[in-house]
Amino acid sequence: MGGGGGGGGGGVAGRGYPSGDVATGAWGTAGKVWGERGLAAAEAVERHDLSGWAQALPVDPAICAGWRTEGGHLWLVTERGHDSAEAVTEAATLVSRAIAEGPERFSAEAREWWAEFWGRSPGVHVPDATLQFLYTYGMYKLGASTNPRGVACGLQGPWIEDYRTPPWSGDYHFNINVQMCYGPGYAGGHGRHFRPLWRMLESWEADLRENARKFVGIGDGLMLPHSVDDRGVNMGGYWAGTVDHGCTAWTAKMMFDAWDHGFEDDGFLGGMVWRWLVGTLNVYLAMAETREDGSVALAVSVSPEYRSAEITAWGANASFQLAACHAVLDALELAAKRLGRAYEPAWANLREKLPRACVGEFGGRRQIMLWEGTPLEESHRHHSHLAGIAPFESYNPLSPEWRGVVEASLARWVDRGNGQWSGWCLSWASQLMTRVGNAEAAVWFVEAFDRWFVSEGGAPYHNAMAPGYSCMGAGGLAVWNWQAMQIDGSQGSCSAVMDMLCHVRKAEGRVTHLFAGCPGRWREVSFEGIATPGGFRVSAARSGGKLTRLEVSATRAGTFRWAEEAEVREAQLEAGEKRQLV
Please, where are the H alpha helices in 243-359? 246-260, 266-268, 274-287, 319-339, 345-353
Tell me the CATH number for domain 123-512: 1.50.10.10
| AA identity, residue 181 | C
- Give yes or no for a contact between 227 and 245, defined as CB atoms under 8 angstroms apart: no
pLDDT at 284 over 50: yes
How high is the pLDDT of residue 542? 97
> CB neighbours (10 Å) of residue 293?
7
Q: Give the contacts of 382 (CB within 8 A, at least 6 positions apart).
A: 175, 176, 303, 304, 305, 306, 320, 425
If pLDDT is split at 50, 70 and 90, which confidence band does 169 have? Answer: confident
pLDDT at 16 over 60: no
The residue among 139, 470, 210 whose CA lies nearest residue 224 is 210
Structural domain spans, the chain? 11-120, 123-512, 513-580
Q: Which residues pair with 530 in a beta bridge?
A: 538
If pLDDT is split at 50, 70 and 90, which confidence band does 5 have? Answer: very low
> CB neighbours (10 Å) of residue 100?
8
- Give yes or no for a contact between 114 and 3, defined as CB atoms under 8 angstroms apart: yes
pLDDT in tens, 303-335: 999 999 999 999 999 999 999 999 999 999 999
H/E element, 562: strand 558-564
Residue 468 exposed, middle or buried by CB count within 10 Å (0-12, 13-18, 19+) = exposed
pLDDT in tens, 201-258: 999 999 999 999 999 999 999 999 999 999 999 987 789 999 999 999 999 999 999 9
Q: Which range, of 102-111, 342-351, 517-526, averages the lowest pLDDT?
A: 102-111
H/E element, 149: none
How high is the pLDDT of residue 481? 55
* Rounded CA separation 70/21 (Å): 14
Q: Report the pLDDT averaged over residues 262-284.
A: 98
* Rounded CA separation 500/273 (Å): 28
- Give yes or no for a contact between 234 and 228, defined as CB atoms under 8 angstroms apart: yes
- Give yes or no for a contact between 283 and 277, defined as CB atoms under 8 angstroms apart: no
- What's the first-to-final CA gap in the chain, in angstroms? 46
Please, where are the H alpha helices in 354-418? 403-416
The residue among 238, 203, 241 whose CA lies nearest residue 225 is 241
Q: Tell me whether the omega of the peptide bond preceding residue 391 falls within 30 degrees of 0, making it cis.
A: yes
How high is the pLDDT of residue 285? 98
pTM of the entire structure?
0.93
DSSP assignment string, 260-276: HTTSS-HHHIIIIIHHH
How high is the pLDDT of residue 3? 34
pLDDT at 409 over 50: yes
Q: Give the contacts of 214 (CB within 8 A, at least 6 positions apart).
A: none
How much helix, strand and coil, in percent to the nearest 5, is found in the chain? 40, 20, 40
pLDDT, greater one: 25 or 277: 277
Q: Give the contacts of 354 (CB within 8 A, at least 6 positions apart).
A: 288, 295, 296, 297, 298, 322, 325, 326
pLDDT, greater one: 187 or 162: 187
If pLDDT is split at 50, 70 and 90, which confidence band does 13 have? Answer: low
Q: What percent of the chain has pLDDT over 90?
A: 83
pLDDT at 559 over 70: yes
pLDDT at 87 over 70: yes
What torsion do the CA atoms of 519, 525, 530, 535 make, to the nearest 10 degrees?
80
| AA identity, residue 85 | A
How high is the pLDDT of residue 2? 31
How high is the pLDDT of residue 550? 98
Q: Which residues pair with 69 in a beta bridge?
A: 74
How high is the pLDDT of residue 476? 59
Q: Report the pLDDT averaged over residues 516-527.
A: 96
Collapsed DSSP state (helix, strand, coil) of residue 58: coil
How high is the pLDDT of residue 19? 43
Q: Report the pLDDT averaged over residues 364-378.
A: 97
Q: Report the pLDDT averaged over residues 18-28.
A: 60
Q: Give the contacts of 53 (CB within 8 A, at least 6 positions apart).
A: 25, 27, 42, 43, 44, 45, 64, 65, 66
Q: Give the contacts of 223 (CB within 8 A, at least 6 positions apart).
A: 208, 211, 212, 215, 216, 245, 248, 283
Dihedrals phi, psi of 44, to nearest 5 degrees:
-70, 145
pLDDT at 580 over 90: yes
Which strands, in side-by-side order, build the sheet including 511-514?
502-505, 511-514, 558-564, 567-573
The residue among 337, 351, 146, 178 whose CA lies nearest residue 254 is 178
pLDDT at 364 over 80: yes
CATH of 513-580 among 2.60.40.1180, 3.40.50.2300, 3.30.450.20, 1.50.10.10: 2.60.40.1180
* Rounded CA separation 313/326 (Å): 22
Pairing mode, if any, of strands 524-532 and 511-514?
unpaired
